[in-house]
């Protein structure tokens, strides 16, 4: 199981990390805004985490002789998700630390984005000021690398758990993509 978890976890984490860096580069070049970046980010997570399905299938076919129970599939999928998520969060942290401009402006730009969206939706000045104060508190917390790493994990982990849940439900049925028998 270890080899399958590491192989599919590292592949998934590698894909989502490369896509994260590409999205950040596009955002820095003003080619993409925060809303598009968020959409691209979550879409890339789903694409990369689709490898959870193939990891569970590989485990089912190669280790479990073509059958797997739901909870065992969940176990394998969550481990793959954890490996991918740790790589994703580490990539964000390394990039964040390496890019001094991003580090110095990220939270201010994000706060501006959030408050502009509130203004567009007709929020009151009181609501906007309350949000600015919340964002300032978040900005202080975000300076802590452990907090930042945890928040980054919370971006991807729910997506991975959802993909794992769907994959485990589908792959527990032997008839779904059965292993090919050797001739």
**Burial class of residue 84 in the structure, from the number of CB atoms within 10 Å of its CB (0-12 exposed, 13-18 middle, 19+ buried):** buried
| 155 in a structural domain | yes
Range of the structural domain that residue 18 is part of: 2-171
| 180 in a structural domain | no
| 179 in a structural domain | no
User: Whole-prediction pTM value?
Assistant: 0.88
| 62 in a structural domain | yes
Give CB contacts under 8 A, 24+ apart, made by 30-35.
Answer: 33/113, 34/109, 34/110, 34/113
| 61 in a structural domain | yes
| 147 in a structural domain | yes
Q: In the prediction, which pLDDT does 126 show?
A: 92
Full pLDDT tens readout for the chain, 183 residues: 999 999 999 999 999 999 999 988 888 877 777 888 888 889 999 999 999 999 999 999 999 988 999 999 999 999 999 999 999 999 999 999 998 888 888 888 888 888 999 899 988 889 999 999 999 999 999 999 999 999 999 999 999 999 999 999 999 988 788 777 644
| 48 in a structural domain | yes
Into how many domains does the chain fold? 1
| 177 in a structural domain | no
């Amino acid at each position: 199981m270890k080899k399958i978890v590491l192989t599919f976890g590292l592949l998934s984490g590698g894909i989502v990390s490369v896509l994260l860096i590409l999205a950040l580069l596009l955002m820095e070049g003003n080619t993409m805004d925060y809303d598009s970046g968020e959409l691209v980010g979550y879409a890339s997570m789903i694409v990369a985490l689709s490898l959870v399905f193939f990891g569970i299938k590989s485990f089912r076919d190669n280790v479990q002789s073509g059958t797997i129970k739901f909870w065992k599939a969940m176990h394998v999928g969550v481990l793959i998700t954890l490996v991918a998520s740790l790589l994703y969060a580490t990539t964000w942290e390394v990039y964040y630390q390496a890019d001094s401009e991003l580090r110095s402006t990220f939270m201010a730009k994000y706060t501006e984005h959030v408050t502009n969206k509130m203004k567009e939706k007709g929020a009151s000045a009181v609501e906007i000021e309350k949000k600015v104060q919340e964002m300032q508190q978040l900005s202080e917390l975000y300076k802590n690398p452990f907090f930042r790493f945890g928040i980054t994990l919370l971006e991807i982990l729910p997506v991975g758990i959802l993909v794992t849940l769907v994959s485990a439900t589908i792959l527990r049925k032997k008839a779904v993509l059965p292993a090919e028998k050797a001739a």
